[in-house]
Chains A and B, each alone.
Chain A
Amino acid sequence: DSGVTQTPKHLITATGQRVTLRCSPRSGDLSVYWYQQSLDQGLQFLIQYYNGEERAKGNILERFSAQQFPDLHSELNLSSLELGDSALYFCASSVFIGNEQFFGPGTRLTVL
């Protein structure tokens, strides 16, 4: 158990819908990262937050957004969902930027 929690574990929804994925980092970790794992693209970095502020963006679609709240938990919002958005979404956290990242168990999103 890494100490990073993600909810829900599984999510099945339809095209065009909007979903929210939640991540609670390890206690004391200030940095949160979101990654997408899909069969065709592999593991890709989406976005990073540090102590509530957006720090870096990767290959994140405009339909996706995220935020980190004062209690340091983070949410990834995916809207206007398409079949190709079906993937495993991982959250990772680290104490500061540059420290080891600890990964959560992931949320498996299926878009039908």
Chain B
Amino acid sequence: GNSVTQMEGPVTLSEEAFLTINCTYTATGYPSLFWYVQYPGEGLQLLLKATKADDKGSNKGFEATYRKETTSFHLEKGSVQVSDSAVYFCALAVQGGSEKLVFGKGTKLTVNP
């Protein structure tokens, strides 16, 4: 079946530190990959996506590259801000089906000033 494994949190960083959140996946077919962010008390927002191997998704300084050979989609940011504090979810959707999202368990990031 389809599944997503992401690093357990919580992750606590100081402002301007480098961020990596690991995500690996298992999928039948050819998935699209996503990172969603959930700020406290809010719904999920799409942060970035990649639809095929070697694609790089990027948004607001965050980046992730679709690596088919390692079945990974790690999230990175060079310099985090306090406002990046949130829960980050890695997800996949297999094309050609219902396109339902399969989520990882989420990683809570806290950035301290």
Q: How far is the CA of A41 from the CA of B96 in the complex (A)?
A: 26
B67 contacts A by Cβ under 8 Å: no
Interface stretch, picked from A13-21, A63-71, A78-86, A96-104, is A96-104
B13 contacts A by Cβ under 8 Å: no
Point out the residues of chain B lying under 8 angstroms from A104, CB to CB.
43
The count of A-to-B residue pairs whose CB atoms sit within 8 angstroms is: 51
Flag if A105 contacts B42 (CB, 8 Å). Answer: yes
Flag if B103 contacts A2 (CB, 8 Å). Answer: no
Determine the interface band of chain B, counting residues with CB < 8 A from chain A.
20 to 34
Say what secondary structure dominates the interface of chain B.
Answer: loop
Flag if B44 contacts A98 (CB, 8 Å). Answer: no
B82 contacts A by Cβ under 8 Å: no
Flag if B95 contacts A98 (CB, 8 Å). Answer: yes
Q: Offer 20 A-B interface pairs, CB within 8 angstroms, sorted by A.
A: A2-B43, A4-B43, A33-B101, A42-B104, A43-B101, A45-B101, A48-B98, A56-B97, A58-B100, A90-B43, A92-B44, A94-B99, A98-B93, A98-B99, A99-B99, A100-B49, A101-B101, A102-B46, A103-B36, A103-B44
A-side residues, CB < 8 A to B, are: 2, 4, 31, 33, 35, 42-45, 48, 55-56, 58, 90, 92, 94, 97-106
